[in-house]
A and B are shown apart, each in its own frame.
Chain A
Amino acid sequence: MQKFSLSWWKIVTIVLLYYTVIGGFLIPVPRLPILNETIRLNYFHTPMWFSMMFQFTFSVWAAIKFLRLSDLKYDDYAVQSAKVGFFFGIMGLCTGMVWANFTWGTFWTNDPKLNNTAIALLIYAAYFVLRSSISDEVQRGRLSAVYNIFAFAVLIPLIYILPRMAENSLHPGSGNNPTFRLFDLSHNMKLVVYTAIIGFSMLGLWLTSILLRLRRLNHFEDENH
């Protein structure tokens, strides 16, 4: 029997995550008013959204692939990555709320970035509802793939375009606030934030791959019993 060994990219993921947690707290950060020490949350809050975007992008790619080839494998890709993406989105919202309570004084403000993100996540929640309402596999795949493309097409303007066009917004990357220019202050921050983004995105990939392999095992059981 072949022996189990971790693939190289999983080892890289582990190393990057350890670097994020250790470096995230020990490496010096710029001293900014209001943010104070919570500037370090950039290492944990931001990667959640990046990870979510990678999963949703992969999901919409798989959905298009499914519509073109009608291979149920791609339907699995689409739904499992959407699940993981949704999970990271919820994590991002929760971490963001805790952070907002510290810096803005309330858990939720009527900020375009916050509201639009919540709407986008609800649209993805409807994707799972839609899926569970259809019992025929092929039809479920087709309908949800079409819906997936719609959801992604709405997600991009909701999260990236509309908040930027807003008159004023508290959230960095919206209104007139800078996003990544914040990190130009500090080389150290860039170091950890990019590590964290890659690390958490790869963790998302790992989770998706585990879910996909479970799906495959389930399919195998269905076929053989």
Chain B
Amino acid sequence: MKIIKLFVWILTFLAPLTLPGQGSSSVQMADTFRQEGKIYVVVLVLVIILTGVILFLIRVDRKIFKLEKRIEKK
């Protein structure tokens, strides 16, 4: 819960910075891709993968923590 709260807070704090910037449109960028909203698919997929990796890391961390505690008891 704490993580989510912190994350939402930071996103709202930095939201004004995500307004579109200026620049020459002669250079080809993924503009239509963005207009169609497909970029969110990319972001979502990467967020899911990142979440999976982080959950795995936290699980490993917790398992080591438990082992350490068990050894401390001995």
Contact = CB atoms under 8 A, between A and B. Distances in A.
Q: Which label, helix, strand, loop or mixed, suits the secondary structure of the B interface?
A: helix
7 contacts: A1-B69, A18-B47, A26-B18, A26-B39, A31-B23, A210-B61, A220-B71
Interface size class of A (residues with CB under 8 A): 35 or more
Contacts of A31: 23-27, 29
B54 to A, nearest CB: 6
A180 interface: no
A10 interface: yes
Which secondary structure characterizes the binding site on chain A? Answer: helix
B14 to A, nearest CB: 7
A37 B10 contact: no
A196 B18 CA distance: 16
A19 interface: yes
A186 B17 CA distance: 11
Contact of B43 (A1, A25, A29): A25
A206 B57 contact: yes
Nearest to A34: B27
A187 to B, nearest CB: 8
A191 B21 CA distance: 14
A209 to B, nearest CB: 9
Contacts of A27: 17-18
Interface of A: 1-2, 4, 6, 10-11, 14-15, 17-19, 21-23, 25-33, 36-37, 186, 188, 191, 206, 210, 213-214, 216-217, 220, 224
A74 to B, nearest CB: 20
A21 B25 contact: no
Given A18-B47, A36-B28, A37-B29, A210 B64 contact: yes
Contact of B61 (A2, A10, A186, A220): A10
B62 A4 contact: yes
